[in-house]
A and B are shown apart, each in its own frame.
Chain A
């Protein structure tokens, strides 16, 4: 299956996911492309309403009406997921691609024990017998750092703290051995002290199995420590993509710069935390040019009329800006 290790596991190409509402067409994802190799960690970063989560749901094939994938390809392991029917997609979900969500408080069904919910994945996706399933569940819980896993199998979600629940959620996602994990704001709802622990846990989990990871977050600081590459989304479009270190050291797009500047740790001593002025525009009425132009300090006449194309930077990566920042020395 993995004859050529260089071949990307996932290639998203020109993905457009639009929602046809009464108020107009919402282009939640509008021409997003990226690829991902086995074992790679990709961060997708952007503000709320930037269409980040919809990239994840599009890959999962779970776009609900009135949304639709208008164009583009999602090639996973050589197959175009966009063209698969629902039955074929169901075999991919959970088994090949798993996904975890933001809120560990509601991500587990309150009426079933966590053992039951873990086992459900194994029943669904493997041929293991009851005893083997049970052992695998205990093993998995131990791996994600749940103390006394055997005793905790019979516990209900409300008997766990938020951080422990998110560990269980990760265990459920990883237990069927997916090749791609999509984590949608996995640590946003947790205490800061626990965030780092869980990020380390996720990183260890995916590295150990060479699972590819897409980490969707608004927290550029968190993702920069984990991801190999970062995609910055704004209003459904990729504004910058690049290797993590290079993007953090020398962002080319003013939006990326703005996100970096608003991380508190990055400018100790300065009097006031800089912010990106304004808010994300109504995605139904995007400006004709660059969607970031109304908030951009560098915007000129050209930005307001012409949408910048994503152009490759000589140092690797790509950005979509008419007047990019200087490349890092």
Chain B
């Protein structure tokens, strides 16, 4: 019996047996957040199958169908559940396609800033000295400006475009990772297993990647989760202000801007539904993020 090692349980089984999964199943807000996110992801991936119309194919648009209200209002039709906009675009279809861009930007910018920020934080924390000072002072200076302001300035300089939005968001977002990871690295570096790795003759880059990084991943995961929501919001703000994505790739923020001009003439659905969607998604992400923060942060336990 004791000589036979139990077969390694599958990753899913191990996860379901973990404390995290146990608490997750007992947290209403975590489940709600997960469901919202899951729904959003399904909506984004299954996009074209959920809508009758491709809102960016001009041939499918009919200007005569413009300004149709949502289906439950007078004049609304079942064909356009959430109504149509100025050009006869289905608002629901616009939201599905727009969410793709919003989520892509949120995720890609999160990955980019996590990669850059974590690398800088690890290097600064592990090597210390002048490098640390330079990196962290840049971070401090950047933190003294509101992130939307920095992104706004960068976007005004670059011009619009998904790639440029990504650059702007990453330049804003790396700071949080750098600071958090640096702090965690300093803490882990003083642990004896890092000293032990050093006296074992392990080269520094291996110590950082194999020993320090896995031990600072926890705060990284929490920040990354919440940051997707933050980035979706910042991107929406930029697009709303007209310096975000171009009109050919409208994100949720740009959809709000499109309807904003006619908002007060009673055509509220063009802006309000994309706005509600942003709210819902960011709410879901924050619910899950808060749960992860509470679970993974040993100080709050």
User: Which residues of A are at the interface with B, using a C-beta cutoff of 8 A?
Assistant: 60, 62, 64-65, 90-95, 97-103, 106-111, 120-121, 124-125, 148, 150-151, 154, 169, 172
Q: Is the CB of B202 within 8 A of A125?
A: no
- By beta carbon, the residue of chain A nearest B215 is A111
Max chain B Cβ within 10 angstroms of own Cβ: one of A95, A97, A109 = A109
Q: Is B248 an interface residue (CB 8 A)?
A: no
Q: Is B297 an interface residue (CB 8 A)?
A: no
Q: Is B201 an interface residue (CB 8 A)?
A: yes
A19 to B192, CA, bound (A): 21
User: For B199, what are the chain A residues with a Cβ–Cβ distance below 8 Å?
Assistant: 60, 62, 93-94, 97-99
Q: Is the CB of B215 within 8 A of A172?
A: no
For B2, give its contact among A98, A107, A124, A151 (CB under 8 Å): A151
Q: Is the CB of B201 within 8 A of A148?
A: no
The answer to whether A92 and B215 touch (CB under 8 A), given A101-B196, A103-B192, A169-B196, is no
Q: Is B5 an interface residue (CB 8 A)?
A: yes
The answer to whether A109 and B211 touch (CB under 8 A), given A101-B196, A154-B5, A169-B196, is yes
User: Which residues of B are at the interface with A, using a C-beta cutoff of 8 A?
Assistant: 2-3, 5, 128-129, 191-193, 195-203, 211, 214-215
A-B contact pairs, 11 of them (CB 8 A): A62-B195, A90-B201, A97-B199, A107-B196, A109-B193, A109-B215, A110-B215, A124-B202, A148-B3, A151-B3, A151-B5
For A94, give its contact among B2, B5, B193, B201 (CB under 8 Å): B201
The answer to whether A94 and B200 touch (CB under 8 A), given A111-B214, A148-B2, A151-B2, is yes
For B201, give its contact among A106, A110, A125, A150 (CB under 8 Å): A125
User: For A150, what are the chain B residues with a Cβ–Cβ distance below 8 Å?
Assistant: 3
Q: Is the CB of B3 within 8 A of A91?
A: no
Q: Shortest CB–CB separation between residue A225 and chain B, in angstroms?
A: 25
Q: Shortest CB–CB separation between residue A65 and chain B, in angstroms?
A: 6
Q: Is the CB of A124 within 8 A of B5?
A: no
Q: Shortest CB–CB separation between residue A121 and chain B, in angstroms?
A: 6
User: For A64, what are the chain B residues with a Cβ–Cβ distance below 8 Å?
Assistant: 128
User: For B192, what are the chain A residues with a Cβ–Cβ distance below 8 Å?
Assistant: 101-103, 106-107
- By beta carbon, the residue of chain B nearest A107 is B192
Q: Shortest CB–CB separation between residue A20 and chain B, in angstroms?
A: 13
The answer to whether A65 and B129 touch (CB under 8 A), given A91-B201, A94-B201, A124-B202, is yes
Q: Is the CB of B200 within 8 A of A65?
A: no
User: For B211, what are the chain A residues with a Cβ–Cβ distance below 8 Å?
Assistant: 109
A64 to B199, CA, bound (A): 13
Q: Is the CB of B201 within 8 A of A93?
A: yes
For A120, give its contact among B3, B129, B200 (CB under 8 Å): B200
A205 to B133, CA, bound (A): 45
User: For A91, what are the chain B residues with a Cβ–Cβ distance below 8 Å?
Assistant: 201
For B202, give its contact among A94, A106, A148 (CB under 8 Å): A94
Q: Is the CB of B2 within 8 A of A108?
A: no
The answer to whether A106 and B3 touch (CB under 8 A), given A94-B202, A111-B215, A120-B202, is no
Q: Is the CB of A124 within 8 A of B198?
A: no
Q: Shortest CB–CB separation between residue A150 and chain B, in angstroms?
A: 8
Q: What are the 3 closest A-B residue pairs judged by CB atoms, nearest first?
A: A94-B201, A93-B201, A94-B200
Q: Is the CB of A124 within 8 A of B200?
A: yes
- By beta carbon, the residue of chain A nearest B212 is A109
- By beta carbon, the residue of chain A nearest B4 is A151
Q: Shortest CB–CB separation between residue B171 and chain A, in angstroms?
A: 30
- By beta carbon, the residue of chain B nearest A56 is B199
Q: Is the CB of B201 within 8 A of A92?
A: yes
- By beta carbon, the residue of chain A nearest B200 is A94
User: For A109, what are the chain B residues with a Cβ–Cβ distance below 8 Å?
Assistant: 193, 197, 211, 214-215
Q: Is the CB of A93 within 8 A of B214?
A: no
User: For A107, what are the chain B residues with a Cβ–Cβ distance below 8 Å?
Assistant: 192-193, 195-196
User: For A90, what are the chain B residues with a Cβ–Cβ distance below 8 Å?
Assistant: 201-203
For B200, give its contact among A98, A102, A110 (CB under 8 Å): A98
A124 to B196, CA, bound (A): 14
Q: Shortest CB–CB separation between residue A32 and chain B, in angstroms?
A: 19
User: For B201, what are the chain A residues with a Cβ–Cβ distance below 8 Å?
Assistant: 90-95, 124-125
Q: Shortest CB–CB separation between residue A98 and chain B, in angstroms?
A: 7
A108 to B193, CA, bound (A): 5
